[in-house]
Structure 1
Amino acid sequence: MRYVAGGGVGGQQRHIGVAERRARLGLRQRLAGVARAQSPEEVAESLVALHGTDPATVYLAVGARLADPGRTVAEVERALYEDRTLVRMHGMRHTVFVFPAGLAAVVHASTGLANAAKARAGLVKDLVTGSDGRLTEEWLTEVEASALAALARRGQATVNELTQDEPRLREQFTYGAGRSYESAHTVSSRLMRVLGVEGRVVRGRPLGAWTSSQFRWALAPPHPELAPAEAQSELLRRWLAVCGPATEADLKWWTGWRVTEVRRALAAIGAVTVALDDGVTGYVADGDEGPLAEAVEPWAALLPGLDPTAMGWQERDWYLAPALRPPLFDRSGNVGPTVWWNGRVVGGWAQRADGEVVWRLLDEEGLGREALASIEAEAARVGAWLGGTRVTPRFRTPLERELS
């Protein structure tokens, strides 16, 4: 049953139930044993996007999917900072992700352009209002040109280093004057974020270890300019190939697009409708409506906070029971570290002060000795490649705090 703009469909829908959705997840999200990847690039290509808001998430998410995670840190750093085959940039929902470098143009055109226009307009408004007209749009244009020139000379630089070259970046203005959230904003922090959303700068090497949230900026590598509608179709096609079937609500949430844009892209790629449980309609990429060609052996995984699989869909009941959400999510909807068995979340994990990996089951339905042994082995695997490194999630959740 092929998607038609406006909701019309024709033909017979195939049913894809929870069991098959979980099997697809294990294979396509590189979590089942037979599907483990050989490199960070292979992981990123398979998942389309790795959450990058918490720097450690990128490494932990890749390590969970590599056949040999021992060189995870070195290999991710190579891909991000030496070969530049992966790039950390703003993407969907104003969120920082790590993408395959070849996808940067698609993400920028499909999502970044609209976000950038809003971010730029908001900065100019706040700047002028919060400085009583002292700082103007023309002033900002001059300062950002100077800052970008300084960044080009340095190659990579922290905000503090850029302010040495362009002191006007230190200027402050008042945000939300007279309101409960009134605060002083610095031009440098807001401007660099806007330039990031516009695709003109990207995040470079961190300061310190790979777990650090402090980082340098670098000029974005050049990429071709694509038509937004063309880019949206390409991004949706790639995502459905990994995460389909997905509902319209899933697609709208993940992309951050308007529903009209989602529907237009679905029609453009010839997406196929399938029947999910409870009479819900889902979408898969053209040619992907058939059953899986290979069997999936049971698998276990320990995934980090903000992992792209745990955060991949808005409607999550098919892999995460509603009762598990309070201990595993913070108040803003960020997921913490999760324990998986055969396509569903069954618990959470954390590290103690000495680096020991500990975990707890929250849903033991159908779990036997094989499941417990596999989870224990996966916890040992994660602990071994982390070594003595202590990782604290940026967004802490009730269970993670308790376990740690």
Structure 2
Amino acid sequence: MSSGVPSGGVPSIGDDQRRARVGRRHLLARAERAARVEEVADAVVGLHATDAATVYLSACARLAEPSAAEVERALYEDVSLVKLLSMRRTLFAVTEEFAPYVSSAAARAIAVKERATLVKHLREFAEGWDEPRLAATERAVLAALAVRGEATTSELAEDVTALRETMLMAQGKPYEARQSVGSRLLRLLASDGHVRRSRPRGSWLSSSYPWAPVPQWPDVPVREAKAEVVRRWLAAYGPGTVEDVKWWTGWTLGDTRRALGDVGAVEVVLAGAVAGLVLPGDDGPVAEPEPWAALLPALDPTVMGWRGRDWYLRPEDVPALFDRAGNAGPTLWWCGRVVGGWAQRPDGELVWRFLADAGAEARAAVEVEAARLAGWLGQVRVTPRFRTPLERELVS
């Protein structure tokens, strides 16, 4: 396997075929929409969950009958969808069946780093803390949570007073601030797979939520887990490049290549004679779906699915649709291309702008999708956590 230009005789997959795969495999073409949110999460490997709204908006864009209640069922009633700090140190919502693989392939390594960072900060910026005290506090928190069933960080601090302590960060600097030991410790326990976020106190957009215990998942060998993550990524996003997989997973190049080898990834030629990769047997043509439009939210897994994006996103549109840290804002899609962006104003009105002339059919289809989105949102108002230039402009 190489990341250079493939040799002759290798099958080709052009940009039109890549866009057809997006419409079908990411459940964005109308005929492909799913009945349950678990199907959606598996179709895109995982739903971005850094912004609470993204899980709902991304899922409902792909559901035949969009509903916040359907997403809440999976997250909080059946707990068939769980959130893990994993690939690229990003919070993803993945199916419970897939979670042990994600935990072993990505989340555990991140948890190790999170623990080391927290221990360092406790030693530097708090008094009387070391690794034994941290471990004892974690055990006390888990015991208290087992009794309560679920509880917020502040509620747990009533039982475990060490959670009330703070760390003075950046002392003497303009951005000096105190961080709660409790908030950091609960985030660490979540990274380790011991606790999960339960139903928010308030609307589904609320950032105030209790924690609940998590049954321990089966132990999956790291190499096997990484192979499964890559297999699912290729099934959903393939063809992609080695660089795409490395970026999406956040792994080293060595780990990325090893996992691609373990699943038997085979080369194809992409536009511009670029070497791409697919699963064995997945180099054939995919039927074009009916023309489709979508209003996808900030950080949607499709727009954030590849490092190389020129085949679905014009480079000149990136400054309007992404913030400076590389976070995507809300995007308009037409037949596998990003053609603009959208926003919701404080009065609830959905507004959008085309950045490329997509034609009358696209404009009509976007209006239909906007009405569909407005219908299930109702009185809910959504502002992305990471604001982008076009989104701000549309709202003003």
For the residue of structure 2 that corresponds to 1:223, the secondary structure is coil
User: In structure 2, how many angstroms separate the alpha carbons of the residues matched to 1:179 and 1:225?
Assistant: 44
Say if 1:263 and 1:180 are closer, same or farther in 2 by CA, change over 3 A. farther
| Aligned positions of 1:71-86 closer than 5 A | 72-86=67-81
User: In structure 2, how many angstroms separate the alpha carbons of the residues matched to 1:396 and 1:215?
Assistant: 23
Match of 1:383 in 2: 374
Question: Contact 1:87–1:202 (CA<8 Å) still a contact in 2?
Answer: yes
Mapped pair 1:363 → 2:356: yes
For the residue of structure 2 that corresponds to 1:157, the secondary structure is coil
Mapped pair 1:308 → 2:301: yes
Deviations 1:143-184 (Å, cap 9, x if unpaired)? 111111111111111111111111110111233456665432
Mapped pair 1:143 → 2:134: no
Alpha-carbon RMSD across the aligned residues, in angstroms, is 1.7
Question: Contact 2:268–2:278 (CA<8 Å) still a contact in 1?
Answer: yes
Match of 1:15 in 2: 12
Matched AA of 1:303: L
Question: Contact 1:128–1:137 (CA<8 Å) still a contact in 2?
Answer: no
CA shift, 1:221, in A, is: 2.5
Match of 2:65 in 1: 68
For the residue of structure 1 that corresponds to 2:333, the secondary structure is strand
Choose which of 110, 115, 123 in structure 2 pairs with 1:120.
115
Match of 1:32 in 2: 29
Deviations 1:293-344 (Å, cap 9, x if unpaired)? x331110000011111011111111111111111111121111111100000
User: In structure 2, how many angstroms separate the alpha carbons of the residues matched to 1:42 and 1:376?
Assistant: 26
Mapped pair 1:100 → 2:95: yes
Question: Contact 2:339–2:354 (CA<8 Å) still a contact in 1?
Answer: yes
Query: Number of matched residues?
Result: 395
Question: Contact 1:93–1:256 (CA<8 Å) still a contact in 2?
Answer: yes
CA shift, 1:368, in A, is: 2.0
Say if 1:278 and 1:8 are closer, same or farther in 2 by CA, change over 3 A. closer
Match of 1:267 in 2: 261
CA shift, 1:280, in A, is: 1.3
CA shift, 1:11, in A, is: 7.1
User: In structure 1, how many angstroms separate the alpha carbons of the residues matched to 2:316 and 2:12?
Assistant: 26
Question: Contact 2:5–2:275 (CA<8 Å) still a contact in 1?
Answer: no
Say if 1:243 and 1:150 are closer, same or farther in 2 by CA, change over 3 A. same
Deviations 1:10-46 (Å, cap 9, x if unpaired)? 8721111111111111111100111111111111121
User: In structure 1, how many angstroms separate the alpha carbons of the residues matched to 2:269 and 2:6?
Assistant: 12
Match of 1:328 in 2: 321
Matched AA of 2:14: G
Identity percentage of aligned residues: 53
Match of 1:46 in 2: 43
CA shift, 1:204, in A, is: 1.1
Moved over 6 A (4+): 6-11
Moved more, 231-240 or 203-212: 203-212
Deviations 1:176-199 (Å, cap 9, x if unpaired)? 456665432221111111111111
CA shift, 1:128, in A, is: 0.9
Q: What TM-score, normalized to structure 2? A: 0.96
Q: What TM-score, normalized to structure 1? A: 0.94
CA shift, 1:73, in A, is: 0.8
Structure 1 alignment gaps of length 5 or more = none
For the residue of structure 2 that corresponds to 1:76, the secondary structure is helix
Matched AA of 1:205: R
Matched AA of 1:172: T
Matched AA of 2:272: D
Matched AA of 2:109: A
User: In structure 2, how many angstroms separate the alpha carbons of the residues matched to 1:388 and 1:352?
Assistant: 12
Structure 2 alignment gaps of length 5 or more = none
